[in-house]
Amino acid sequence: MQSPKGMHDILPVDQPFWNKARNSASKIADSFNFQKIETPILESVEIFERTGEATDIVEKQMFFVKSRGSDKLVLKPEGTAPVMRAYLQHGLSKLSQPVRLFYISPIFRYEAPQAGRFRQHHQAGFEILGGEGEPIYNAVTILALYRLLEELKIKNLVVQINSIGCKVCRQAYIKKLQEYYKKNLGKVCKDCKNRYQARPLRLLDCKEEKCALIKADAPIIIDKLCNSCKKHFKATLEYLDELNLPYMINNYLVRGLDYYNGPVFEIFSEGNNMALSSGGRYDYLSEMLGGNKVHAVGGSVGLERAIEAMKSLGIEIPQKGVPDVFLIHIGDEAKKKNLVIFEELRRAGVKIIESFEKESLKSQLRLADKFGATLTLILGQREVFEESVIIRNMKTGVQESVALKKVVEEVKKRL
């Protein structure tokens, strides 16, 4: 039996990396005053269909869940729309605005598995919803994501940023883009021919070599922005300058979902051609979901990609501390007593390890030495009869017998 295609087990050996990633995300969220939110793994398909029926996510990448009722449910393919749904459903607009929300969640996309792309992956997301849509919150979002990657010891980060404008100036640009591509449709890949009508902005996102040559001379969207979008984008860049965050304008950077507008961004590390983080402004999403207009900006870090980057950089995560005490038993009666001692020491906050399956004294002492325990408690038939236990210092080899009822007190004295 194998795990489902494109999904993977997170084994104990990798848990230190995952604990570091999750803890760091929570630490950054707290320092930036983001409050945690958890949305269900299952959502109504309508939420994602409303955000763009011609998007790759809706057309190709959703896992549908068959239920006994008439509900049309999917495993959530992205985290932003569910957060906005929760914001609208629970009246979070009544709180002081803007509301800063943070999540760590599994995400499911039915796409061909490859390096850095899994059908189930995990994202740490930061969303700022409500308020007046000030460009400073674009910079706050980027800064939080950047600092999270720094917290994970990933170096040489750079922000790639672009603006895809508003509904008005974007439509004018798309006409220019289609006019340009119309003359080159015979030279582009099959996907780009399909995108030409349904998803023209995604023409700029194609990685095919022959398409890259065509898009190199395509019109640039920031040259076609309206005055309001130009001002908003300029202010965003000025805030990044004030923060001394390294960034570059990527004229070909777009997003795959219709609700994005204005500044969009991705964060890369040197030598890694896959974005570790991405996001942007999405002022249209709330209206697509049936609510009033809500200014919003957000982004997320792909945890699998971030952890892979940590490993490639040789970053080591300290393992849990060595155990304080190793319990050794000789005989069945001693084993029973050791279980009671185990619980008493555990409740007292002492870190214990044992090997109840081993029976020989020699093999258990060998294990105690291997785990680096500070003390070893040895309980045999004689000790059970005398209601005592031998405490052995593993560094000095000195050992002494103490009363069983004082074992917690005596152990704490020696640690």
Domains located in the chain, CATH noted: 12-166+226-312 (3.30.930.10), 325-410 (3.40.50.800)
pLDDT at 345: 95
pLDDT at site 54: 57
pTM to 2 decimal places = 0.89
Look at residue 350 in the predicted model and tell me its pLDDT. Answer: 95
CA-closest candidate to residue 406, choices 319, 344, 361, 350 = 344
Q: pLDDT 10s per residue in the chain (415 long)?
A: 999 999 999 999 999 999 999 999 999 999 999 999 999 999 999 999 888 655 667 777 889 998 888 889 999 999 999 999 999 999 999 999 999 999 999 999 988 777 778 999 999 999 999 999 999 999 999 999 999 999 999 999 999 999 999 999 999 999 999 999 988 888 888 888 888 888 888 888 888 888 888 888 899 999 999 999 999 999 999 999 999 999 999 999 998 777 899 999 999 998 888 999 999 999 999 999 999 999 999 999 999 999 999 999 999 887 777 899 999 999 999 999 999 999 999 999 999 999 999 888 999 999 999 999 999 999 999 999 999 999 999 999 999 999 999 999 999 999 8
What is the distance between the alpha carbons of residues 32 and 281, in angstroms, rounded to a whole number?
18
DSSP 3-state percent helix, strand, coil across the chain (nearest 5) = 45, 20, 35
Measured in residues, the chain has a length of 415
Neighbours of 191 (CB within 10 A): 16
The beta-carbon contacts of 280-287 under 8 Å, at least 24 apart in sequence, are 280/164, 280/255, 281/133, 281/138, 282/80, 282/84, 282/257, 283/133, 284/167, 284/258, 284/259, 284/260, 285/51, 285/80, 285/81, 285/84, 285/259, 286/84, 286/87, 286/88
Q: What is the pLDDT of residue 53?
A: 59
pLDDT the model gives residue 115:
74
C-alpha pair distances (Å), 244 with each of 158, 183, 210: 11, 42, 36
- 264, 141 Cβ separation under 8 angstroms: no
Beta-strand relationship, 261-269 and 157-163: antiparallel
Looking at residue 55, its pLDDT comes to: 67
Q: Cα–Cα distance between 75 and 246 in angstroms, integer?
A: 36
Which of these, 256, 263, 218, lies nearest to 236 by C-alpha position?
263
Residue 153, SS3?
coil
**Residue 97 DSSP class:** S
* CA distances for 291 relative to 17, 161, 396, angstroms: 39, 28, 71
> Is residue 197 exposed (0-12), middle (13-18) or buried (19+ Cβ within 10 Å)?
exposed
